[in-house]
Amino acid sequence: MSKPTDLVQGTLDLLILKTLSLQAMHGWAIAKRIQQISSEVLQVQQGSLYPALHRLEQQGWIKAKWAESETGRQAKFYSLTAFGRKQLEAETADWKRLSTAINLVVSEV
């Protein structure tokens, strides 16, 4: 397995928010989804996933609910709040601006 790309904390927040914007899911599913959609490039470390999830919950951008998972076990499902939705838009806009700028610099030979 190739070494997973280190993710800056801010970008992890963005990824989580985006993932949750489509559907409510538990931590395991979030990690799997990010890995899937990024074509296995981004592999989230559990050691950074759960602190991030709890921090986002404290800040009020996501909310949590215990429900029955697909396996039948109880799991903690996270979903986006209205506040979080606004935050996602802002962060997406920021990311787009930043990445465009970096692209411009990098493609400049």
Residues of this chain that bind another protein (CB under 8 A): 26-28, 45-47, 50-51, 53-55, 57-60, 66, 69, 71, 73-76, 81-83
Q: How far is the CB of 75 from another protein (least distance, A)?
A: 5
Of 1 and 104, the one with the shorter C-beta distance to another protein is: 1
Q: Do residues 52 and 61 lie in contact, with contact meaning Cβ atoms separated by under 8 Å?
A: no
Q: How far is the CB of 22 from another protein (least distance, A)?
A: 20
Pairing status of strand 74-80 against strand 62-68: antiparallel
Burial of 81 (0-12, 13-18, 19+ CB in 10 A): middle
Q: How far is the CB of 92 from another protein (least distance, A)?
A: 20
